[in-house]
Structure 1
Amino acid sequence: MDSSPRVTAPIGQDRLAHGALPRGSMRRDVFIYTSDDSDNLIGGLWVSEGITNANLYSMVEIFCIFSDTFGLHYPNGKLVERDQNPLQPGDYFLATNGSITVTDELPLLRMIALQPGSRSKSFRDAVRERDRRCILTGRKVPYDWTTFEATHIFPLAYEGHWNELKCDRWLTLPPATESDGSINSPQNGILLGLDEHILFKALAVSINPDDNYKIVCFSPATLPYKLAGRYLDRQFLEDFARLMRFCAGIFGRQCFSM
């Protein structure tokens, strides 16, 4: 990689605390560096089925800001093509003629404990009636709702961010009860099995709206559910009353996070 000119920004220890974790943490097997210096680690992930080289480029563009074009390289200096080949475990190095800035923007964590106040009954009932199955696995509701959970796509705990971004301007179905707030529109909801709900809240599983709504997994804890690399059902997506159609434009960074 010596022939690939680049200027890299120094990464402080506070960045390590917020995301660029030491090798081996969270069972990651892909590690991203801003140079061929293995001390300059800025991020990584656990590779699951369905994650491609192109997906890695997209992830890097979420948490890095570039002043010029960039490329990812293998340790031997070979360019990683931005293609649909499966991402392989290993080390990857950023190369650019410009500067690299690691964003200080932190993700909105989907923490159940942060849910303010009571959940909206009308939201729950509308999502249940519409989906009637876990949208990740396709498992149908058998007799009752005991093992299913109506889940917010944009976390309910961050209603302030929702309002600040004026996300309600994309809604076509307001909540049944206006006082519940627009964040409780059923278009901001999906029905999940309880296990899938927990994994979604923990950011162990996500949906990539920029890759045909592919299901992406970030933890080995998802392996028993065989979710990785699947796509949301087309019938689900084509119904205007279902998944928010603007997810790719506004929520991509929250639906698809490292």
Structure 2
Amino acid sequence: MPPIDRSRGRNVHIYDANDPATVLGGLILAKGVTNTNFYSMVEMLFIFTGTFFLRDEGNTKIEKDDRPLQPGEYSIVAADPFNVHNEPWLARTISHATGSRTQAFCDAVRSRDRRCVISGTEAVGADAGVWSGFETAHIFPLAYEGHWNTHNYGRWITIPPADPTKGSINSVQNGLFLEATIHQLFDSYAFSVNPDDNYKIVFFSFDPRNLSGKHLDQRFLNDPQRPVDQLLRWHFRQAVLANMRGAGEPIFEHDFPPGSDTVDDILRGPKAAERMEFELFGRLGTQVELFPTAGGDGVSA
């Protein structure tokens, strides 16, 4: 089955003012995205060596303010040449934290949150140990632990796992408790949380639950074990790159009907090697060397 096209349904399009025929990127506009937010996203997508501003299709300069971004075509007017950012995007499929290595991680995240931190839906069976309909999510995926170690992302962790041999990537600070369907959207970068805008939930795709534009609640933010901002920032940046750069990255099919040749479907699709390694990790729990390992993390400490 072909991957889902992220650019389908875009109603915001980005151009270089000097090349109005070439689309550089775009966005499916959701509630809560402001002009200031849009500027910050553009700065993640492109490398500027000088000043720039955005102009709408009516040739009006867009100010950095809290007005809602409007659908339309936007041109980048830059004092100097600029380039599309080549920061790697880490291919990711729907994942589940399973096995003895992640059990303590799941327990810690469940104990901390006891509800979906995005929708607010309570796990009413928590006291009875019933967590049906909910899942624990790694913000930075466990399958990329090699990348985590290479770039020393563990430097952001202040609460290590109870068993240090499980790796800092399994810290409660790298986890969120989510409804199962919301977990799938999080893993596919359909939405993210922007810690630099009061922890706003931002959808980059269609928002079936009307969650975009809302903010994480203060009860969650006041918890000393909550996720560190650097990891939320990393995920948000990955979501911007996945959804807004060029035509966007593929969204991989994960619901294969019985009898499907899953391996063949993966190998004939985009980013086959990365996806196959990710799928093998998810099924076997075997650490493999997923790429890319080169390039910066794009996130300041």
TM-score band w.r.t. shorter chain = 0.7 to 0.9
Please say if residues 47 and 82 of structure 2, whose CA atoms lie closer than 8 Å, have aligned partners that are also in contact. Answer: yes
1:50 lines up with 2:29 in the alignment: no
Matches of residues 152-163 of structure 1 in structure 2 within 5 Å? 152-163=138-149
2:296 corresponds to: none
Please say if residues 115 and 121 of structure 2, whose CA atoms lie closer than 8 Å, have aligned partners that are also in contact. Answer: yes
Partner-residue secondary structure (3-state), 2:108? helix
Higher relative contact order (CA 8 A, sep 6+): 2
The 3 A distance-change label for structure 1 pair 255 and 128 is farther
Please report the RMSD computed on the Cα atoms of aligned residues, expressed in angstroms: 2.3
Please say if residues 64 and 100 of structure 1, whose CA atoms lie closer than 8 Å, have aligned partners that are also in contact. Answer: yes
Please say if residues 34 and 67 of structure 2, whose CA atoms lie closer than 8 Å, have aligned partners that are also in contact. Answer: yes
Instruction: Tell me by how many angstroms 1:252 deviates.
Output: 4.8
When the two structures are superposed, what TM-score results if normalisation uses the length of structure 1?
0.83
Please say if residues 30 and 204 of structure 2, whose CA atoms lie closer than 8 Å, have aligned partners that are also in contact. Answer: yes
| More displaced stretch, 232-241 vs 66-75 | 232-241
The 3 A distance-change label for structure 1 pair 37 and 51 is same
Please say if residues 119 and 211 of structure 2, whose CA atoms lie closer than 8 Å, have aligned partners that are also in contact. Answer: yes
Matched letter for residue 42 of structure 1: L
2:156 corresponds to: 170
Instruction: Tell me by how many angstroms 1:210 deviates.
Output: 1.2
Q: Select which of 213, 218, 227 maps to 1:243.
A: 227
2:46 corresponds to: 64
When the two structures are superposed, what TM-score results if normalisation uses the length of structure 2?
0.72
Q: Distance in 2 between matches of 1:197 and 1:114?
A: 9
The 3 A distance-change label for structure 1 pair 48 and 119 is farther
Partner-residue secondary structure (3-state), 1:33? strand
2:134 corresponds to: 148
Could you list the per-position Cα deviations for residues 103-154 of structure 1 after superposition, in whole angstroms to 9, with x for gaps in the alignment?
A: 1223223323698987611111110111000000110001121100000111
1:138 lines up with 2:120 in the alignment: yes
2:191 corresponds to: 205
Could you list the per-position Cα deviations for residues 32-89 of structure 1 after superposition, in whole angstroms to 9, with x for gaps in the alignment?
A: 0012644211100100000111111111111100110100001222100111100110
The 3 A distance-change label for structure 1 pair 185 and 134 is same
Q: Select which of 75, 86, 108 maps to 1:126.
A: 108
Matched letter for residue 191 of structure 1: F
1:228 corresponds to: 212
Q: Distance in 1 between matches of 2:94 and 2:162?
A: 23
2:202 corresponds to: 216
Q: Percent identity?
A: 45
Matched letter for residue 224 of structure 2: F
1:83 lines up with 2:83 in the alignment: no
1:16 corresponds to: none
| More displaced stretch, 125-134 vs 244-253 | 244-253
Instruction: Tell me by how many angstroms 1:179 deviates.
Output: 2.0
**Structure 2 residue runs without a partner (length 5+):** 244-301
Please say if residues 189 and 238 of structure 2, whose CA atoms lie closer than 8 Å, have aligned partners that are also in contact. Answer: no
2:276 corresponds to: none
Instruction: Tell me by how many angstroms 1:255 deviates.
Output: 5.8
**Structure 1 residue runs without a partner (length 5+):** 1-20
Q: Distance in 1 between matches of 2:225 and 2:65?
A: 33
1:111 lines up with 2:97 in the alignment: no
Matched letter for residue 211 of structure 2: L
Please say if residues 97 and 106 of structure 2, whose CA atoms lie closer than 8 Å, have aligned partners that are also in contact. Answer: no
Instruction: Tell me by how many angstroms 1:176 deviates.
Output: 1.9
Please say if residues 208 and 255 of structure 1, whose CA atoms lie closer than 8 Å, have aligned partners that are also in contact. Answer: no
Partner-residue secondary structure (3-state), 1:104? coil
Matched letter for residue 102 of structure 2: S
